[in-house]
Amino acid sequence: MARATLANLPAYLPAALRTLGRQITCPKDGWVFRKGDPVQAVFLVLNGEVRLSRFAKDGSEIALHRAGGGEFFAEAALNAPRYHCNAIASQPSTLLAFPAGKIRELLAKDPEFAQQWVALLARQLHAARARLERLALKSAAERVLHYLHTDGKGPRCEVALVGSVKDLARELGLTHESLYRTLARLEQDGVVVRRDHRLGLV
Amino acid sequence: MARATLANLPAYLPAALRTLGRQITCPKDGWVFRKGDPVQAVFLVLNGEVRLSRFAKDGSEIALHRAGGGEFFAEAALNAPRYHCNAIASQPSTLLAFPAGKIRELLAKDPEFAQQWVALLARQLHAARARLERLALKSAAERVLHYLHTDGKGPRCEVALVGSVKDLARELGLTHESLYRTLARLEQDGVVVRRDHRLGLV
DNA sequence: CGTCGCATTGATATCGCTCAAATCCGGTGG
DNA sequence: CCACCGGATTTGAGCGATATCAATGCGACG
């Protein structure tokens, strides 16, 4: 039952939303919504991963965003009548769906919620801009170092390589072969270190 | 005097902010704020460009974001006590500074403003993700066509080339030489047309 | 009239992409 | 327990598109 998920809820989830989410599960490659569907909800990923994407005319899929555990997605849909991209689970996932109408109502009536929601959007915007700046870099090594500087934790700018290196390659807009070679060269040059499933500077 | 800038204010600027901004000018390479400074304001670029950056240990500057005319920056600072990056003018710039305290107050007390602010952030997030999708494309021609499809108006997907082509090149993550060649080839192949200062399909 | 920045085109170099192959590893089923 | 399989990882070779460097023309502006 839904209450069992309360333990998994992220700390930054606005209090007003804690009882509003309807839990849904999605198998790998299952569709959460499709481009053009009427907007009904905003989502929070509890487990798994959902990718937002569009399909080019040649059939190739272009990812706009990947939302992992603890992340919202489709927040920007609040002002739109229809979704403008597809949401597909990259892994078996459990989500919380928050009715868009309720959220609009809260924004209008609950100042505290509005502040929390603004903070949430600002965080996402910040992350998107960092990624944008990263993709504008021309060399693979620059992108890796930019990633460490913006997403790394602690003095060593360490990041956990949670999935496969191929996933990181997608995040950086590189082929996995290029990323392997770049990581090998950076490590050989003493710029980064890989240990266990962590990557850091020095 | 500050009132003279009212004509330049973007249409999407929430009404509550129109009298709140303090205009400041910044020379090229002038600092707007530094990492660690207490957060005092959120900014809107009227003219010029401001880059948000950090400095790596080796002294190299890593850009997190560049904000151009009509764009806000440091909106995410509303929730933080101190700025977490540097803001430096890449060109001589004029900005509007909105006191962070006032904005927090408005968010708490003015539901209409809160909704407008949320809509503003959502629009920016949407635009950022569209650009992300574009930068993930590998070929210059694909990026140009994606730009026309997403930002173009009307059946011909026409866009006005407001600034220099160099500016568009930067937006697309290309050198201006590559963009010139790509546009020439696309036009020669009958895919796009350039007339006056407009670019469109067919 | 000189200077400056944008526009345009040419020549060359470079870096990442593509195709290819070998190895490793975990899981699965016999 | 072992054979097998699929996916991730890693390295190699070559190509091609874009970056880079360079040169010229052009218009604006002082």
Q: Flag the least confident range among A1-10, A60-69, B29-38, B65-74.
A: A1-10
Instruction: Answer yes or no: do A119 and A23 share one domain.
Output: yes
Instruction: Answer yes or no: do B123 and B142 share one domain.
Output: no
Number of domains in chain B: 2
Of the three residues B69, B97, B129, the one that is the final residue of a domain is B129
Residue type for position A201? L
Three-state SS at B109 = helix
Strand order through the sheet with B41-47: B22-26, B93-99, B41-47, B72-73
The pLDDT of residue B97: 97
Instruction: Answer yes or no: do A126 and A157 share one domain.
Output: no
Domain that holds residue A128: 2-132
Rounded to the nearest angstrom, the minimum Cα separation between A8 and chain B is 24
The pLDDT of residue A2: 42
Instruction: Answer yes or no: do A57 and A112 share one domain.
Output: yes
Of the three residues A132, A157, A188, the one that is the final residue of a domain is A132
Instruction: Answer yes or no: do A44 and A110 share one domain.
Output: yes
State whether residue A101 sits within 8 Å of chain B by CB.
no
Instruction: Say if residue A134's pLDDT is above 60.
Output: yes
Instruction: Say if residue B40's pLDDT is above 80.
Output: yes
Instruction: Say if residue A86's pLDDT is above 80.
Output: yes
pLDDT in tens, A139-187: 999 999 999 999 999 999 999 887 789 989 999 999 999 999 999 999 9
A115 Cα distance to chain centroid: 21
List strand residue ranges (DSSP E) for B123-163, in order.
159-160
Number of Cβ pairs closer than 8 Å across A and B? 114
What is the rounded average pLDDT of the residues A183-200? 91
Of the three residues A103, A132, A161, the one that is the final residue of a domain is A132
The pLDDT of residue B202: 82
Say which CATH number the domain at A21 has: 2.60.120.10
Say which CATH number the domain at B181 has: 1.10.10.10
Out of B107, B126, B173, closest to residue A118 by CB: B107
Instruction: Answer yes or no: do A22 and A49 share one domain.
Output: yes
Instruction: Say if residue B4's pLDDT is above 70.
Output: no
State whether residue A61 sits within 8 Å of chain B by CB.
no
* CA-CA-CA-CA dihedral for B141, B143, B144, B148, to nearest 10: 140
What is the rounded average pLDDT of the residues A100-108? 92
Instruction: Answer yes or no: do A35 and A122 share one domain.
Output: yes
Instruction: Answer yes or no: do A31 and A85 share one domain.
Output: yes
Protein-covered nucleotides of chain D (CB closer than 7 Å) are 7-13, 17-22
Give the residue from chain A lying closest to B135, CA to CA: A135
Query: What are the φ and ψ backbone dihedral angles of B41, each rounded to 5 degrees?
Result: -155, 160
pTM, full prediction: 0.86
Instruction: Answer yes or no: do A121 and A144 share one domain.
Output: no
A197 Cα distance to chain centroid: 20
Instruction: Answer yes or no: do B77 and B162 share one domain.
Output: no
CB of B179 closer than 8 Å to CB of B168: yes
Q: How far apart are CA B81 and CA B36, in angstroms?
A: 9
CB of A85 closer than 8 Å to CB of A53: yes
Query: What are the φ and ψ backbone dihedral angles of B117, each rounded to 5 degrees?
Result: -65, -40
Tell me how far apart the 2 most distant CA atoms of chain A are, in Å: 57
